[in-house]
Homo-oligomer: A and B are copies of this chain.
Amino acid sequence: MKNSTHVYNPHVSVDCVVFGFDGEKLKVLLIERTIEEQNFSDKKLPGSIIFEDEDLDEAAIRILNELTGLKNIYLSQFHSFGNPQRTKNMRDKNWLEKLTNMKIGRIVTVGYVALIKISRKIIFESENTAANWYDVSSLKSLRLAFDHNEIADTALEHIRHKVKSEPSMLFELLPRKFTMTQLRNLYDAIMGTTSDVRNFKKKIMQIEGLEQLDEVQKDVPYRAPRLYRFDKKVHKKNTRKLYS
């Protein structure tokens, strides 16, 4: 994390909530933070204080890359968190002061969110950290550092809101051809719901551009399910907007 040509701004940080879908479960990318002298390790979102001379978007992209190896991820700013108490926990404070060699007071953090297909397993290790995917459903039982539980929850709410207003974004997380079960799993994972199989199909098929193919899934050891695809162009053309 040290960089000889840049000066840290210890008052503002960015934190990245990267959600990933592996075809079955919704995951979130967390950093394992080890505090040697206390023989203690816990988890946090990938994030850090910004450089004095970089913009917020730049900082988010740089820091996510440094901590997880991820590149070319579309990170979008969703909310800033500034509770004066958020950096008061001594364990969090000591860890960050050691990492940055700076005195840490109050930090306002700018939250970024991304939603990606998990195409490869991320295990990235640097001197102080390792990055891994964790089930979103397990977040409740993990105590993350700082206010990172609140940040992750708010990011998930943000994604839910986006899916509600633009459900077609779901298809970006699926393979080009997918089964109805994959689509339902994805929807339920994000929304935190358990949809009824028939009702879900009936409702989701109202999305313009979603079509059933004359193909079935191959190489499955059971009755092969039908495949579907989503045609973005048809969707755009036929989606009736209340206002144009």
- The chain A residues found within 8 Å of chain B, CB to CB, are 9, 11-12, 50, 52-56, 59, 77, 79-84, 106, 108, 110, 164-167, 187, 191, 193, 195, 203-204, 206-207, 241-243
- What is the minimal beta-carbon distance from A151 to any residue of chain B, in angstroms? 13
Decide: A9 near B106, CB < 8 A? Known: A54-B84, A56-B82, A242-B207: yes
| Majority secondary structure, A binding face | mixed
| Residues on B with beta carbons closer than 8 Å to the beta carbon of A203 | 242-243
Decide: A79 near B77, CB < 8 A? Known: A9-B11, A12-B12: yes
From the candidates B110, B165, B195, name the one contacting A165 in the complex (CB within 8 A).
B165
| Residues on B with beta carbons closer than 8 Å to the beta carbon of A167 | 242-243
CA distance A81 to B108 in the complex (A): 13
From the candidates B54, B56, B84, name the one contacting A80 in the complex (CB within 8 A).
B56
CA distance A53 to B88 in the complex (A): 12
CA distance A12 to B107 in the complex (A): 9
| Residues on B with beta carbons closer than 8 Å to the beta carbon of A191 | 243
Contact A80 B80 (CB under 8 A): yes
CA distance A54 to B203 in the complex (A): 46
Contact B165 A108 (CB under 8 A): no
CA distance A216 to B219 in the complex (A): 68
Decide: A82 near B11, CB < 8 A? Known: A167-B243, A203-B242: no
Which residue on chain B has the smallest CB distance to residue A163? Answer: B243
| Residues on B with beta carbons closer than 8 Å to the beta carbon of A12 | 11-12, 82, 108
| Residues on B with beta carbons closer than 8 Å to the beta carbon of A241 | 164
